[in-house]
Amino acid sequence: MKTLLFLVLWAILFCSCSGTGSGSREDNRFVVLGPSLVELMYASGLGTRIVGIDRYSDWPEETGNLPQVGGYIDPSLEQIASLDPTSIHISGESPVLRELAETLGIHCYTYRFDTLADVFGSLDSLDARYGAQAADFRDELYEKLDSLAAVMESSAPVSVMIVIYHERGSSSMTVAGMNTFFADLLTSVNCEMSAPGTGSWPMISVEGVIDLSPDHIICLYPGKTDTTEIMTFEKNFWMDVGFESDQVHCLFEPYIMIPGGRIGLIAERICSCLL
């Protein structure tokens, strides 16, 4: 409480001395928390307005020059205030950051990225608020998904299970569920998600996978570098329970679970496994 009280008094003093009330200022100094949101802002031509980001955002390359203000759970309120932002933008909801924004007399905008509709909704919000290139990026994404759908339409509809965590030696795993952007991407390109009926990120046993009988299994290992060893392990694991080698795939791109500025590339990489 003492730290927050000090921050409140300091922020009020800072704003009073600088004579920069938010009501008369252009909204061009963003603090942004959330890799998907940071990526989407850069893709929308708003990157030059960002003055601070969370510790997990590292794309595009320009983010390496920006101050980091902590994480979503543990943001540095003092550092955020010191950047003199005109607005705070976050993925999800944060009462602490809302309180900080209120103290600073600026807006705090929230966005969601659980589903593909959320991604498009975030782009619509950015377009309505700032214009820039958000609408262009939204249209490009629609075109990309339509193009991939046309390619996949020539094949019989396939069902896909996306494994997001599989510990070696374990007979259970965490998969992408029906209420995720992965399911929406698959639907957009004329494919089907294979997953339990409930839960966004459900755990499932090998027996459960066999019962669902997906046409393809895609295992995600973002950031891993020992690709040959992992691919060999996954293919052998699934072949032992009855799947063919060409039904099992691994994706290693670090952005594969970040539905932001590279979400079109995520759709491309998934489709490349299925053709």
Task: Assign 251 to helix, strand or coil.
Answer: strand
Query: How does residue 223 score in pLDDT terms, banded at 50, 70 and 90?
Result: confident
Q: What is the pLDDT of residues 181-214, one digit of tens each?
A: 999 999 999 999 999 998 999 999 999 999 999 9
pTM recorded for the entire structure: 0.89
Q: Which domains does the chain have, with CATH numbers?
A: 27-111 (3.40.50.1980), 136-274 (3.40.50.1980)
**250 forms bridges with which residues in the sheet?**
219
Taking 60 as the threshold, does the pLDDT of residue 2 lie above it? no
Q: For the chain, first and last CA: distance in Å?
A: 57
Query: How does residue 37 score in pLDDT terms, banded at 50, 70 and 90?
Result: very high
The conformation of residue 189, written as its DSSP 8-state character, comes to T
Q: Residues 6 or more apart from 91 whose CB is under 8 A from it?
A: 33, 34, 36, 37, 72, 110, 111, 112, 113
What whole-number distance in Å separates Cα of residue 101 and Cα of residue 64? 25
pLDDT at position 18: 38
Q: What is the pLDDT of residues 131-175, one digit of tens each?
A: 989 999 999 999 999 999 999 987 778 999 999 999 988 999 999
